[in-house]
Structure 1
């Protein structure tokens, strides 16, 4: 879908993009091969050609950040397959507070390996780890996880493409929290974490820190792991659904 996308070009909206598809300009290569064949509304031909040329280079070089401002969070789903190899699914847990110091764990899943950074152990490794990725997937991360992380790691630049599944799935009719949507889609959780929520995550952390209950930490980590691992399937559903919706509109 990314190579069929023209929305990231300044001055191009959904109407112009659809017009290009209808003219037979279905992807970047079509435009690069014969830019004079198509009309672009108010956008100049040279601008279209140059941005698409740079887009092609950014994609081939794996520079996901190039598309960050042009796509924005609303259309970042379009780049999911192309940058899936540089993608990380991210979720934080907190002690219930609203400061950066309230973060207790940060879970990261890259499609094959899960890492949980824990306060008091290795949480400070986060800036180095996140720099390895070009595409971040969260659930309500724009409203919670990312602002909290930026409070904790002041000055940290997060220039990755960001797919927030909460508003993205809402466009397909899926509403509610992560666990509710998982149930709607038949995504199951393990017996040890099924039914747990954010309040339970706070209680588990308190048991770990006040009682030295390592089992509570293990359960908290297992809960966080399912949050991020399940996001991969949700991202696939979001991409497939919005691609169909966009192309058939």
Structure 2
């Protein structure tokens, strides 16, 4: 079982949306003040304790993020005091993609892999303004767009993982083996 996680923040790096997906939970989101250490700990699937002799790798069951080692997980640790890297085998898809020659942000890599979006022109900066519009003006439309954006981020990570794992398992046609 793999767990995919993505957060959105406001201009002060307060977590505004935490979205996650696993086969056991389906897709779920926690929003605003409901994002607490206790709630996250209760809702996220329990980590599977790996055998100490088991090799780590992209096929190991764990927590998947995109650029999460640099952004999502440090923000969660700082804001909530919850270190998800202690609890889960954490795999940052950004680095798995880079090993396959795919560089850039999540949206750029999705384009390279042919993964579409319903909100193709949105990015993380737009997410900041959507939350602001929801908080300041009560715009439910802004909140719904933000939630849809977060859901696309999470669910497209599932697709990225599947494609990149296939790429890493495939023998490259021009690879030379010296014996």
TM-score under structure 2 length normalisation: 0.81
Which of 1 and 2 has higher RCO (CA within 8 Å, sep 6+)?
2
The residue number in structure 2 matching 1:218 is: 144
Per the TM alignment, residue 201 of structure 1 is displaced from its structure 2 partner at its CA by 0.2
Cα shift readout 1:129-164 (whole Å, capped 9, x = no counterpart): 225244111000011100011112215453211111
Kindly tell me: are residues 245 and 94 of structure 1, through their superposed partners in 2, closer, same or farther at Cα, counting changes over 3 Å? farther
The reply on whether 1:117 has 2:30 as its aligned counterpart is yes
The reply on whether 1:174 has 2:102 as its aligned counterpart is yes
What aligned pairs does 1:3-18 form with structure 2 within 5 A after superposition?
A: none
Q: Secondary structure at the match of 1:92?
A: strand
The reply on whether 1:195 has 2:121 as its aligned counterpart is yes
What aligned pairs does 1:51-200 form with structure 2 within 5 A after superposition?
A: 86-98=1-13, 102-111=14-23, 113-120=26-33, 122-124=34-36, 125-134=39-48, 135-154=62-81, 156=83, 158-190=86-118, 193-200=119-126
Tell me if structure 1 keeps the 8 A contact 2:110–2:116: yes
The reply on whether 1:208 has 2:121 as its aligned counterpart is no
- Give the root-mean-square deviation of aligned CA atoms: 1.9
Counterpart-to-counterpart distance in 2, 1:233 and 1:129: 23
**What 5-or-longer segments of structure 2 have no aligned partner?**
49-61
Q: Secondary structure at the match of 2:101?
A: coil
Q: Which consecutive aligned stretches of 4+ in structure 1 deviate over 4 angstroms post-superposition? A: none
More helix by share: 1
Tell me if structure 1 keeps the 8 A contact 2:47–2:87: no
Kindly tell me: are residues 146 and 183 of structure 1, through their superposed partners in 2, closer, same or farther at Cα, counting changes over 3 Å? same
Q: Secondary structure at the match of 2:131?
A: helix
State which of 163, 168, 176 in structure 2 corresponds to 1:242.
Answer: 168
Q: Secondary structure at the match of 1:89?
A: strand
Counterpart-to-counterpart distance in 2, 1:222 and 1:173: 29
Kindly tell me: are residues 153 and 146 of structure 1, through their superposed partners in 2, closer, same or farther at Cα, counting changes over 3 Å? same
Counterpart-to-counterpart distance in 2, 1:127 and 1:245: 40
Q: Secondary structure at the match of 1:143?
A: coil
Kindly tell me: are residues 238 and 217 of structure 1, through their superposed partners in 2, closer, same or farther at Cα, counting changes over 3 Å? same
Counterpart-to-counterpart distance in 1, 2:42 and 2:101: 36
Please identify the structure whose Cα radius of gyration is greater. 1
